[in-house]
Structure 1
């Protein structure tokens, strides 16, 4: 018996066997689990967008106060000559 025939035999035995028993409340449990997962995903997405918006606002506030695009003032003053 070659490999293909063994696989075919295994599939044939699986098809002839009876179907497994399915719990009666399987649908209700699946719906409840799906609802929980969807609610959790929605909450995580909202938290993510809130944190992203807060980071953007914090960056804008920091940039408006620190003005990193401006050249910093010189640390020393030039010498005064001719007074």
Structure 2
């Protein structure tokens, strides 16, 4: 569709009668927005809680395993000739 046809289509839409807006549109939008905010807040709290659990698990693992220390070298087998 070229530009002149688009302009003509827009002009026809704007010249026609305006469709009525539902009377509860603002209330429905506010309820939907509140629901979305609540869902995002729950998701954010869950993510922070999961991060806290992972950090605690990492600290416990590091405290118990000491992964930075060198492991003892096993003794060589006895040489019985």
* CA deviation vs aligned residue, 1:9-56 (integer Å, no higher than 9, x gap): 111111101111111111111111100000000010010011011101
Could you tell me how far apart the structure 2 residues matched to 1:32 and 1:71 are? 59
With structure 2 as the length reference, what TM-score do the two structures score?
Answer: 0.83
Aligned residues between the structures: 77
Q: Corresponding residue for 1:23? A: 22
Unaligned 5+ segments in structure 1 are none
Equivalent positions of 1:1-83 (< 5 A) are 3-76=2-75
RMSD: 1.7
Unaligned 5+ segments in structure 2 are none
